[in-house]
Amino acid sequence: MSDAHVDLALEGMTCATCAGRIEGALAAIPGVTASVNFATERASVDVDGVLDATALINAITAVGYGARVIDRDRRETEPPVDPTLTARVVVSLALALPILAISMIPALQFVGYQWALAALSTPVVVWGAWPFHRAAWANARHGASTMDTLVSMGVVVAYLWSIYALFFTMAGMPGMAMEMTLFGYSPHALYFESAAAVTAFVLLGRWLEARSKRSAKQSLTALLEVGAKQAILLVDDREVSVPAGAIAKGDRFVVLPGAIVATDGVIIVGSSAIDASAVTGESIPVSVAPGSRVVGGTVNAGGRLVIEATAVGADTELARLTRMVEDAQASKAPIQKMVDRISAVFVPFVIGLAVVGGAAWFVASGDLAHAIVVAVTTLVVACPCALGLATPMALLVGTGRGARSGIVIRGTDVLESTRRVTTIVLDKTGTLTSGRPSVVEIAGELDENTILSDAARVEVGTDHPLARAVVAEATTRGILGATAEGVIAEPGKGAVGRLGTTVVRAGSLDWFRAENIEIPATLADTALSWGSRGRSVIAVAHGARAVGIIAVSDVVKPSAVEAVAALLRLGIRPIMASGDTEAVAALVAREVGIEEVHAGVSPADKRALIAGLQEKGAVVAMVGDGINDAAALAQADLGIAMGHGTDVAIESSDIIVVSTDLRHVADAIRLSRATLGTIRGNLFWAFGYNVLAIPVALAGLLGPAVAGLAMAFSSVFVVLNSARLAAMRLTR
């Protein structure tokens, strides 16, 4: 492979130190740049030159871990939590709890109970803690140490000391009641409860981590699972049921009402409404007509559609956006690199502290048992796991939450940008407005539905954008009747046909005047008023008299007003930049609540506007969807593309809002800021925990069992704190 990218699924990682070792092993290969994510258990590898993936896997295997290549074009289901790990947790807890109870409650201590403790703790220490021992030995063979080394050493030392005390001191004598508490020690104390409790608590913490990681990853898996399994392919005008994956680019397929759109495409025949909630988070179906783009995974909520496939498989919008989320989850925040450097030296440092601390206690007191306990407690209480999970776990959950609502955050550096944004520049067409003509008002001598239905029945076969807007509105209202007979389209003017014995025209007023069609004064005045507000007018005539007019305009999105208000609440100043006329731009700005408007601007003007704001000290975000927005998106400190925009706009952006709901822009900023805040909270806890816990352990104020519980809790705290992001309320 040349200048290639490879994704690897990793096996055997237990802490950030493991991730660092794998990353180092890959980086040692010439031409390889790698990023290893502990939370997702994946490696993202870029290869500059020619190198087989087997060489990458061999390098990982050589340092004691496993790996396999991930096919990003294939859907991979998230495996369940390892059943063996679950069994170890259950058995270890079932044995450790009675061991703790007997050790700490004198009333439960019977003659020879010490031997019962030894019998109960042995399977916990040997079988339950086996993953720690195996990993510690594998790392030791390569001259390395990880969190497993600390746990394994602590458990083994506590257990072996207890066996020694049981056989060679007064602790093993029948009737000897030992002073055993979590915080107290005696000269001949046994520490079976410490060895068992440390094993059980750390295993429980690891099991909870695995469950939370799987839950976070399933947010992305669920996005992939919305796709259709079957499709109806058109073959020589015959409908043939085939697996959805059999559709090729350029094929035409049928989507019946209530069915899932099999892949990305353009509507050739039919009008309907598309429910995109499973993909974009939009709750309101969007009207579509011939020429409209549709995305695979959405649901046809209306009539029968014939669609021509424009992208299949890995090239679909859903697959592309999913890859972007995976890339974001694999990326590392700048602060994570510092954490990785700390984790690399943390375990050897803790081992050294434990040895020095234990030796100091023995020299000072002459109490070997207490000195060993201090050393064991120091080994166990230290937790590089929480440090390693702090950033990737929050990013995993945050990006997964965004994916469920159609928000793609493309990298960790984006999070910092969202925190500092002070100003947001919004494009008008396609961002604040729908970007396509829609019927906004109807007036005339007949009722609205009759005027609309008659116009649609005449224009249903034409391809003019205004005609498509009329047909789409009639379809949405459910009043599109049979097509008129003898329809004749007049390019640039309109269309004429027969409904029964009545000749019906739909088109421009200029055409009506040229054909001597009578136009009532009230309709002419209303049409003039609409035109002054930037609306296009379609007139409808029965015979030689106009009976109604229809106003068509690029309407403001229903979500725009709420979205602008939400941005203001976030302390962000909104500015509108549009290539449209001053009058139309000002009208839209007033409607959505934006005070500062720049109209008649070119793509270069938009970029210059953002550069000018930046020179004045503003941190600027830009929201757009077209080719003309790409330069401005790239110039902005934070580029936000609406997902139905052009490829160049999407590639120039930092955040993608898959839906057309503008409220998701504010949601994207809120979610990014919340994710950044969670990362900082996690790191504060992880660093703070070790800064406090290690000195307390060295001072002899903790027992190993409490240390094991605290260590497990520190990692679980980071996981649960990150999991709060999954419940964050976003627009749905």
User: What are the tens digits of pLDDT across the range 307-343?
Assistant: 999 988 878 877 776 776 666 666 666 666 666 677 6
Q: In the predicted model, is pLDDT for residue 466 greater than 80?
A: yes
* Model pTM above 0.85: no
Alpha-helical segments (H) within 533-628: 560-569, 582-592, 603-615
- pLDDT confidence of residue 14: 74
pLDDT band at 180 (very low <50, low <70, confident <90, very high): very low
Q: Look at 281-285, 421-425, 721-725 and tell me which has the smallest mean pLDDT.
A: 281-285
- pLDDT confidence of residue 400: 80
pLDDT digits (tens, 9 = 90+) for 75-95: 555 566 788 889 999 999 999
- Residues above pLDDT 70, as percent of the chain: 85
CATH 3.40.1110.10 range(s) for the chain read: 434-555
7, 275, 427, 629: the active-site residue: 427
Distance CA 220, CA 323 (A): 10
Q: Which two tokens stand for residue 220?
A: 């992305």
Q: In the predicted model, is pLDDT for residue 127 greater than 90?
A: yes
Task: Please tell me which residue, 536 or 249, carries the higher pLDDT value.
Answer: 249
pLDDT band at 633 (very low <50, low <70, confident <90, very high): confident
CATH 3.40.50.1000 range(s) for the chain read: 406-433+557-674
Q: What is the DSSP letter of 303?
A: S
Sheet holding 272-275, edge to edge: 286-288, 272-275, 299-300
- pLDDT confidence of residue 183: 38
Q: Which of 588, 627, 592 is nearest to 606 (CA)?
A: 627
CATH placement of domain 406-433+557-674: 3.40.50.1000
Q: Residues, the chain, total?
A: 732
CATH 2.70.150.10 range(s) for the chain read: 230-262+264-311
The residue-averaged pLDDT of 259-285 equals: 77
Enumerate residues 6+ apart whose C-beta is below 8 A from 596: 573, 574, 575, 576
Q: What is the DSSP letter of 569?
A: H
Fold of 2-69: Alpha-Beta Plaits (3.30.70)
Write down the architecture of domain 230-262+264-311 according to CATH: Distorted Sandwich (2.70)
Write down the architecture of domain 434-555 according to CATH: 3-Layer(aba) Sandwich (3.40)
Enumerate residues 6+ apart whose C-beta is below 8 A from 512: 505, 519, 539, 541, 546
Q: In the predicted model, is pLDDT for residue 212 greater than 70?
A: no
- pLDDT confidence of residue 176: 45
Concerning whether 327 is annotated as a catalytic residue, the answer is: no
